[in-house]
Amino acid sequence: MAAVVAKAQACLVAARGRVEQREADCQTGGLPGARRVGLNRPLGRSLAPAAALKRAPRRSGAARCSAAPQAPSAAAEVSEREGASGKGFGVFRLTYDLKEEESARRKWSKTIRVAVSGAAGMISNHFLFKLASGEVFGPNQPVAINMLGSERSKEALEGVAMELEDSLFPLLREVTISIDARDAFKDVDWALLIGAKPRGPGMERADLLDINGQIFAEQGRTLNDVANPNVKVIVVGNPCNTNALICLKNAPKLNPKNFHALTKLDENRAKCQLALKAGVFYDKISNMTIWGNHSTTMVPDFVNARILGFPATDVIRDRKWLEEQFTPQVQTRGGALIKKWGRSSAASTAVSLVDAIRALTTPTAPGDWFSSGVYTKGNTYGIDDDLIFSLPCRSKGDGDYEVVPGLIVDEYLRARIQKTEDELLAEKKCVSHLIGLENGYCDLPEGDTMLPGEQ
């Protein structure tokens, strides 16, 4: 017992010495080992907010210090939050001494900066907490979140940021709120473009393509100017394939391979339906491909899918069900959900966005693949080489991917792949003025194939 008491007393003396040393360092502009990161100070005392800090002389490795140890006033806290746009929200603007944390954080990777547009919306509300928790990039990957919204949604964004504060996520190192894309996209490693204008009453599909196209053209130009040159872009806002193409075409300095349209939700829905029919759990479904556009012309591929490692058509021998029930069930699943409870599939979309990112950052299981809307240049399936088209992909887990060659495309698949390709080509003509093409015109196929969430 005496040894334990002596050890505790020694630790207390050492801790007091560190506090005194830090006070002295702050007076001289020192404070080695400190950095601006936001939350998590299990041993250290928080310094004053950035708005109240006194600037110390800059030194190599020096951090901002406060000579005044007292707690900030309520007025200072209000001022801090009112000036939060683009500079870090609330507690995420504080500076802490993390010297005591260094040994515990040695396994952490360099912080990933993620921009999320439409950050006040329902999809983002589900997704952001998964991102902050480590579910997306893993338990040793700190993240900084740049939330992009509008002037109208700014207070809602602050509400989301407050909830992120209160959740005390260890990996969440910074949160910023922006209504300017140049601030939100600055140096980001991932850009998740969720926000898009919904389709209003009486709005023609061509009008929606043009309105959202202008938004994504501007976002593409901004990413081109200020984002990390290797930024990965995933477009969720519908119509996501064509929006992703517009974004890509307006970002000539960025790698076209790094642009994706989210079709992982469609893949997940297809796996669920096959699992239900086969009477197995959904983790027994693999090799599922969604071909084409994220619309009701999408093609869920049961020809190449596998159940328990066997061809799906060997396990489910009812070809009529596969063609006439399975396929439309997947194509119209979103509409069925809306009819049930009057809302679009925000939660499952957020889950599928997590899945899409993990598919790119985790090695694909041998022999398997995943679906993503990707740039078609150089594809081996005869698809027009200037579209964003959902194809089978695999990754080594480094954020890059390759399109999987050699899948069986029978007459049934070929006819439906052609239909979804024709639709994307028609959409491309409608937005030709936004992607640098001349003589474009809008002649969309008959019938409204947009998904319910776009309407």
Residues annotated as catalytic (active site), given as ranges: 294
Q: How far apart are CA 50 and CA 169, in angstroms?
A: 21
What order do you get walking across the sheet with 402-403 strand by strand?
172-178, 143-148, 112-117, 190-193, 232-235, 259-261, 370-375, 388-394, 402-403
**124 near 62, Cβ under 8 Å?**
no
**252 near 224, Cβ under 8 Å?**
yes
State how beta strands 172-178 and 306-307 pair: unpaired
- Cα–Cα nearest to 98, from 33, 47, 17: 33
Q: How far apart are CA 210 and CA 427, in angstroms?
A: 10
φ, ψ of residue 439 in degrees (nearest 5): 60, 35
* DSSP strands (E only) in 10-136: 112-117
- Cα–Cα nearest to 184, from 168, 195, 172: 195
Burial class (CB within 10 angstroms; exposed 0-12, middle 13-18, buried 19+) of 261: buried
